[in-house]
Amino acid sequence: MKGLCVLQLLLSCSVSYQDPGVYRKADRNQVYTPGTHYLLNPIHGVIHSARGANVTLPCIMRRRPRSYRVKWSKVNPADPLENLILISNGQRHKNYDKLKGRARLRRSHRLDASLIITDVSLEDEGRYKCELVNGLDDQSLTLSLELEGVVFPYQSREGRYRFNYIEAHQVCEEQDGRLATYAQLYQAWTDGLDWCNAGWLHEGSVHYPVIAPREQCGGDLPPGIRSYGPKDKLKDRYDTFCFTSALKGRVYFVNGPMNYSEASNACQAGKAEVAKVGHLYAAWKFSGLDHCDGGWLSDGSVRFPITEPRERCGGLPDPGVRSFGFRDQEERLYGVYCYAPT
Ligand SMILES: *[C@@H]1O[C@H](CO)[C@@H](O)[C@H](O)[C@H]1NC(C)=O
Ligand SMILES: *[C@@H]1O[C@H](CO)[C@@H](O)[C@H](O)[C@H]1NC(C)=O
């Protein structure tokens, strides 16, 4: 094997001595013009990860330009400013604030310009650009980072359609989530989310997902994502769709009956806090939490997670997080779901 390589190297060394790829026949007579073919096309354009994980965004050079820098940035179509993550020049590299010290070059071999992001957060989702800057003919490739997660609708304690866009953004963060994107809602719809109240999405548009068409949910239209189009972010009020990903902790149930302040004490006694809505959805989706008793959550709602639907546990045909809605904090009827971070 080694001999073969040496032979081929001799035959083709003028063209491909810098080329790390397998020396295939087709490559042998290919003439590289300066500045082209420096980056290998990624095999997968979408990289999947989850909150809390470490992820590698691959960017591999076919060969090294004589002098170059690697520049990684986050691409946001809605934001014309460049979100620089890091820029490297040989040994020296400068880290920018965007990922707060969680991003570095992998450098596992001399042609590796891949980016490692540690402790992935919900905000890290999006498109990333790897650029090879060599002054002549800069090259780049883009990759999308998508997080595994779950979308949950959220409504105000005051009732239906009370949030403007800014508030929708806030309440999702308060529930350990982030305003869902259209792509995330679409994925949730294919996973079975059917919800007849319109909610804000990250893009600033308003939608709702319907699987079983019915009169009050857009009538005879086929199943799909119903659209209200773009809305006034300050004046228009709807519910919201939040997105969360894997838990960085554990959710557990404590038996009641308790009122809200007793519930809060019960969690504190276990060095935990009353779970947020996002915590419960993440535990249901990622840890298969299934419990047939309503429990307090931090926002004052009472819910329970069902992964194996049965008659006496809310009865509905599909798995889901069931809700008793917001309850009076003096009511002494429920247990509590606690969240213990790790
Ligand atoms: C991520 O990488 C860091 C070191 O860079 C390590 O300490 C940590 O355990 C890793 N996390 C996971 C989830 O693998
Ligand atoms: C909850 O119950 C405790 C103990 O039974 C009681 O002291 C407290 O006043 C109650 N709190 C509310 C808000 O009802």
Find the radius of gyration of the CA atoms of the chain.
26
Whether 34 shows a pLDDT value over 60: the answer reads no
Share of the chain above pLDDT 70, in %: 87
Closest atom of ligand 2 to CA, residue 259: 1
Q: Spell out the domains of the chain, with CATH numbers in brackets.
A: 2-147 (2.60.40.10), 154-244 (3.10.100.10), 246-341 (3.10.100.10)
Mean pLDDT score of the chain: 86
Two tokens, residue 157: 């304690």
Please tell me the distance between residue 24's alpha carbon and the centre of ligand 1 in angstroms.
38
Q: Quick one: average pLDDT of 67-94?
A: 80
Report which of 102, 106, 188 is spatially closest to residue 153, judged by C-alpha positions.
188
Residues in the chain: 342
Question: Does residue 126 contact residue 75 with C-beta atoms inside 8 Å?
Answer: yes
Find the ligand nearest to 246 CA.
1
Q: Quick one: average pLDDT of 192-197?
A: 92
Report which of 248, 255, 266, 244 is spatially closest to residue 304, judged by C-alpha positions.
255
DSSP state of 98: G
Two tokens, residue 205: 């548009």
Please tell me the distance between residue 89's alpha carbon and the centre of ligand 1 in angstroms.
25
Q: Give 127-181 as a DSSP string.
A: EEEEEEE-SSS-EEEEEEEEE-EEEEEE-BTTBSS-B-HHHHHHHHHHTT-EEPP
Tell whether ligand 1 has an atom less than 6 A from the beta carbon of residue 53. Answer: yes
Rounded CA gap, 149 and 278, in Å? 10
The predicted structure's pLDDT at residue 117: 96
Q: Give 200-219 as a DSSP string.
A: E-TTSEEEEEESS--GGGTT
Please tell me the distance between residue 262's alpha carbon and the centre of ligand 2 in angstroms.
7
**72-91 exposure pattern, b = at least 16 Cβ within 10 A, e = fewer:** bbbeeeeeeeebebbbbeee
Which residues, other chains included, contact 280 with Cβ-Cβ below 8 Å and sequence gap of 6+? Answer: 251, 289, 297, 303, 305, 321, 337
> pLDDT tens across 196-208, in order?
999 999 999 999 9
Find the ligand nearest to 103 CA.
1
Tell whether ligand 1 has an atom less than 6 A from the beta carbon of residue 55. Answer: no
To test the pocket of ligand 1, the residue of 56, 118, 119, 247 to mutate (highest count of ligand atoms within 8 Å of its CB) is 118
Which range among 11-25, 26-40, 67-81, 262-276 shows the weakest confidence by mean pLDDT? 11-25
Closest atom of ligand 2 to CA, residue 260: 13
Rounded CA gap, 57 and 41, in Å? 12
The predicted structure's pLDDT at residue 95: 62
Please tell me the distance between residue 326's alpha carbon and the centre of ligand 1 in angstroms.
39
Find the ligand nearest to 266 CA.
2
Please tell me the distance between residue 258's alpha carbon and the centre of ligand 2 in angstroms.
8
